[in-house]
Amino acid sequence: MKKAITTKHIAQLAGVSVGTVSHVLNGSAGVSEELQKRVHEIVRKLDYQPSQLARGLRRRSTDLLGVIIPDITNPYFPKLVRGIEDVAYKEGFRLVLCNTDNDPAKELSYFNDLRSFHPAGIIVIPSEGSTVGKDSSHRNFELMFVDRSPEWWAGDAVLANNEDGGHQVGRYLTRMGHKLISAISGPSHIETARDRMRGFQRALAEAKVKLPAKFIQEAPFNVEGGFAAAIRLLTMTPRPMAIFASSDTLAIGALAAVRALKLRCPEDVSIVGFDDLEFSELTEPSLTTVFQPGYHIGSLACQLLLDRVRGADHPTEKKILNTELRIRHSVRSLLPARKRSR
Ligand code: ADE
């Protein structure tokens, strides 16, 4: 391993003490201009990089933020991380990103690794069964949950209103005259998937539309999961005429299944997604979906966390951001023509 240049080397070459070098590097007053110039010249020549680790050990905290997410290949999460990163970068903090695959043991192992770097804070999208933050292991840094919040967590969190998003979908489909409605839920062990389904089922119950158990198919939040679940639904008798896919990746898989079965969307099957990813407007037909503010969740969470890092000690906050149905072209109205124009 290469040996790192330290302030000791610089001090030796400049013929001053390590303390004087630190004063120069920290911009403290009381060092002559000539000495400052000499030290800076050596720093430049040696390409000296201050060690965040050594600094972290001294201050007991670095300018690092840990970010723990389930899966960077799920296109919803990069939006959220981008929101975190934009705020962190602007405020002089840097991120270390970890994937858990929704595995609480992997999550805890990353959490403990991150703690050893003395981060200023850690932002976590927790897996079901998460134990991070359950004890006092976060006493030396700020901890924030986003997207999901374990029910025992009493600290800060920023979430989307998933239940209301699901409710908006159910209300829209029933108001469009649909009765044979089905759903591809995400994994039932994920809180956001459960919340979306709860709102959706409530809307159907309010409209007195039945949702048979076999019309709810669980699938992992990805395109393959959506494809397989939609094939199962669309080969049932009777065949559902609408599918609520509880993420846009699931909806895109469902659109592919519709094509594979030589059906048409929305003529034979209506599809609604959840997310409003950039590419959801570009599908054929364009996808009606629920917008969830992933970027804003990330940026707000990071802002709140950095406020805490700087000493804000207001009561803990659980922010729940609005979701919004975006109507495009993947849902067919089954209302009689005279009702549609009202
Ligand atoms: N896709 C969209 N929203 C999601 C969420 N909250 N968790 C996992 N995958 C998602």
Give the residue whose CA is nearest to atom 2 of ligand 1: 247
Interval between CA 147 and ligand 1 midpoint (Å): 8
- Which amino acid is located at 99 in the chain? N
Nearest CA-CA partner of 183 in 224, 227, 220, 229: 229
The alpha-helical segments, DSSP class H, found in the chain are 7-14, 18-25, 33-46, 52-59, 76-90, 104-116, 162-175, 191-206, 223-234, 248-260, 294-309, 337-340
Interval between CA 158 and ligand 1 midpoint (Å): 14
Domain covering 162-292+325-340 in this structure, CATH number: 3.40.50.2300
Distance in angstroms (rounded) separating the CA atoms of residues 296 and 84: 9
CA 25 centroid distance within chain: 37
Instruction: Establish whether domains 61-160+294-322 and 162-292+325-340 are of one fold.
Output: yes
Mutate-to-test residue for ligand 1 from 192, 224, 292, highest number of ligand atoms within 8 A of CB? 192
pLDDT of residue 239: 98
pLDDT of residue 44: 80
DSSP 235: T
The domain 7-50 is placed in CATH, from the list 1.10.357.10, 3.40.50.300, 1.10.260.40, 3.40.50.1370, at 1.10.260.40
Task: Return the ligand 1 atom nearest residue 147 CA.
Answer: 6
Tell me the pLDDT of the chain (342 aa) as tens digits: 667 778 888 888 888 888 887 788 777 778 888 888 888 888 888 887 776 666 666 666 789 999 999 999 999 999 999 999 999 999 999 999 999 999 999 999 999 999 999 999 999 999 999 999 988 778 899 999 999 999 999 999 999 999 999 999 999 999 999 999 999 999 999 999 999 999 999 999 999 999 999 999 999 999 999 999 999 999 999 999 999 999 999 999 999 999 999 999 999 999 999 999 999 999 999 999 999 999 999 999 999 999 999 999 899 999 999 999 999 999 999 999 876 644
Q: Is 247 in the pocket of ligand 1 (CB under 6 A)?
A: yes
Distance in angstroms (rounded) separating the CA atoms of residues 201 and 196: 9
CA distances for 260 relative to 23, 234, 269, 288, 326, angstroms: 69, 11, 13, 20, 26
pLDDT of residue 48: 76
Nearest CA-CA partner of 74 in 271, 243, 247: 247
Interval between CA 230 and ligand 1 midpoint (Å): 18
pLDDT of residue 247: 98
CATH superfamily of 61-160+294-322: Response regulator (3.40.50.2300)
Interval between CA 221 and ligand 1 midpoint (Å): 7
Q: Is 77 in the pocket of ligand 1 (CB under 6 A)?
A: no
Distance in angstroms (rounded) separating the CA atoms of residues 166 and 300: 23
pLDDT of residue 13: 83
**Length in residues, the chain:** 342
Nearest CA-CA partner of 251 in 50, 71, 31, 76: 76
Q: Which residues 6+ apart lie within 8 Å of 121 measured at CB?
A: 65, 66, 141, 142, 143, 144, 305, 306, 308, 309
Give the residue whose CA is nearest to atom 7 of ligand 1: 192
pLDDT of residue 23: 80
Which phi and psi angles does 150 have, rounded to 5°? Answer: -55, 145
Distance in angstroms (rounded) separating the CA atoms of residues 336 and 27: 75
Domain boundaries, the chain: 7-50, 61-160+294-322, 162-292+325-340
Sign of the dihedral through C-alpha 4, 9, 10, 11:
positive
Interval between CA 210 and ligand 1 midpoint (Å): 26
Interval between CA 192 and ligand 1 midpoint (Å): 7
Pairing of strands 324-326, 288-291: antiparallel
Show the CA angle centred on residue 290, arms to residues 287 and 296, nearest 5°: 120
Task: Return the ligand 1 atom nearest residue 70 CA.
Answer: 8
Q: Say if residues 186 and 226 touch (Cβ distance below 8 Å).
A: no
Q: What is the pTM of this model?
A: 0.86
